[in-house]
Amino acid sequence: MIPVLLILIPVITGLIAFFLPGEKAPKIWTLLSAIVTLGVAVAGVYSHRAAELNFDESWIPMLGARFSLSMDGMAKMLCLLTAASFPLVFGATYRNDYPKPGNFYGLMLLLQAGLMGVFLASDCLLFYFFWELALIPAYFLCSAWGGERRIAVTFKFFVYTFLGSLLMLVAILYIYFRTPDQSFALESFYNVQLTAKEQGWLFWAFFIAFAIKMPVFPFHTWQPDTYEQAPTAVTAILSGVMVKMGLYAVIRWLLPVFPEAVAHFDHCVIWLAVAGIIYASLIAIRQDDIKRLIAYSSIAHIGLMAAAIFASHKAGGEIGLQGVMIQMFNHGVNVIGLWIVVDAIEQQLGSRKFSELGGLAQRAPGLAILFVIMAFANIALPLTNAFVGEFMMFNGLFRFSFAAAAVAGISIILAAVYTLGMVQKVFYGNTVPRTENAVDSDLSVKLMLAILAVVIIGLGVYPQPMIQLTNDAVEAVITKFHSI
């Protein structure tokens, strides 16, 4: 019942939140809901009983679709990330005021339910249902509570993701009719017999949908604008958790279902990802807005994960896939920490532009120390959580192609340039009129950042628990490739 609770709790509490009056009641209610969901997710991580981690009931009998949920190591890790992200974001932005707070927090909880469903579904139609369910609240959150250009930007985001979803739906229906038992079950999709030609076009239909969601170059253009215009709390969830939907879907659905097509198109996808890594890193250096810099930084990090995934089926490449598994969690932790700092700065000073900031460490030393830890994790400094995952991903990519690993490796230098440049421009140097009277952040913000800092250093020193948690998923994917 644990997978069901992870979806039901945010759905029910989210619907109730729409009807709660005032400003405080929805905040307290959603924070409590998120904490309870986190408790259930932690219970799931430590549970090893199949009866508690799986749920399977008939959903649409005439189509053979089932409400089938399963919680293996990869699902545990991503559900834990999703469950932990929401209370951290709610706690850090507790003092933020939103028009119609009941609607805002209700949609946030529905978004959480959609994300949980994507990571837990083991029926492809159910997976598609939750994939779309996660998109709808994200659309309304961005379009109703975003910045001045929110309508145009959100429309672009919607069109991108909707077109990708349509392609995926066509591919899902085609595979469904090719399964011997007319089923959407994960195992039926894994065992369906497809010709090389069929795998080719089905691969691209799925891949484009997933590449838009990650996003990977050249399907990324919606991302910087959406991150910039969305409320920072929503941006934190989009970049910390929602982009993992694409990476997760590639590992869970694309690689095992189309192994021959993956082996045929791997060079093409890897070089697209590597091009995106360098392109996004160079663009990040030129930004004057903290949000846009972090957005382009995220594209570079996701690009490296995508490249490592497609390099994983070659001999020795499984180390790269293992790196991706733990990096999905670590990237979520790190980028949410960065967004919390951005929100704290914007709420107090009313600006995110480097040209209008400076010397903030003199006025907010606590925030500066915590931000530097987040920045070090963003550049994968040793003893931070990102170091181990990034090292493993480069190791896997190097075994696939020395040239691709060498070009992607340039991003390590570029990441240090734009990340440390951001720290220098915002927190050091002389204060400016806007930061002259700044004060340190609230206790709630520093508490949430301190929790993230402990996780960053803890997993940087001892990453083995996260590696063990996801090891079964890595073995399953690699075994599938070796069986063709």
Domain range annotation of the chain = 286-483
Residue listed under structure tokens 């209700």: 106
Q: Looking at this protein, which amino acid is placed at residue 154?
A: T
Tell me: pLDDT of 107 over 70: yes
pLDDT at 224: 85
Read off the pLDDT of residues 51-62 as tens digits, 9 standing for 90 and up: 889 999 999 988
Q: What is the pLDDT of residue 160?
A: 85
Distance CA 120, CA 131 (A): 11
Packing angle of the helix pair 73-92, 24-46 (nearest 10 deg): 160
- Residue 220: which pLDDT band, with cuts at 50, 70 and 90? confident
Percent of the chain with pLDDT over 70: 99
Q: Sorting pLDDT into bands at 50, 70 and 90, what band is 478?
A: confident
> Which pLDDT band holds residue 483 (cuts at 50, 70, 90)?
low
Distance CA 216, CA 273 (A): 6
**Span 231-235, average pLDDT:** 90
How much is the pLDDT for 484? Answer: 59
Q: What is the mean pLDDT of residues 128-134?
A: 93
Residue 410 near residue 324, CB atoms below 8 Å: no
| Mean pLDDT along residues 122-138 | 93
pLDDT of residue 6: 97
Q: How far is it, in rounded angstroms, from Cα 432 to Cα 482?
A: 60
The overall longest dimension of the chain from CA atoms, in Å, is 70
Q: Which two tokens stand for residue 442?
A: 């609230």
The Cα–Cα gap between 470 and 43 comes to 16
Among 173-177, 178-182, 224-228, 476-480, top mean pLDDT goes to 173-177
Q: What percent of the chain has pLDDT over 90?
A: 63
> What is the model's pLDDT at position 3?
94
Q: Report whether pLDDT(481) > 80.
A: no
Nearest to 122 by CA among 175, 75, 181: 75
pLDDT reading at 236 higher than 70: yes
Amino acid at 255: L
Q: Which two tokens stand for residue 159?
A: 């069109």
In this structure, how many other beta carbons lie within 10 angstroms of the beta carbon of residue 282?
A: 16
pLDDT by residue (tens digit) across 175-198?
Answer: 999 998 889 998 899 888 888 888
Average pLDDT for 408-418: 93
Whether the bond into 218 is cis, omega within 30 of 0: yes
Q: In this model, does residue 29 exceed pLDDT 90? A: yes
Could you report the per-residue pLDDT of 65-103, keeping only the tens digit for each?
999 999 999 999 999 999 999 999 999 998 888 899 999
Span 109-137, average pLDDT: 94
Would you place residue 18 in the very low, low, confident or very high pLDDT band (cuts 50, 70, 90)? very high
* pLDDT of 162 over the 90 cut: no
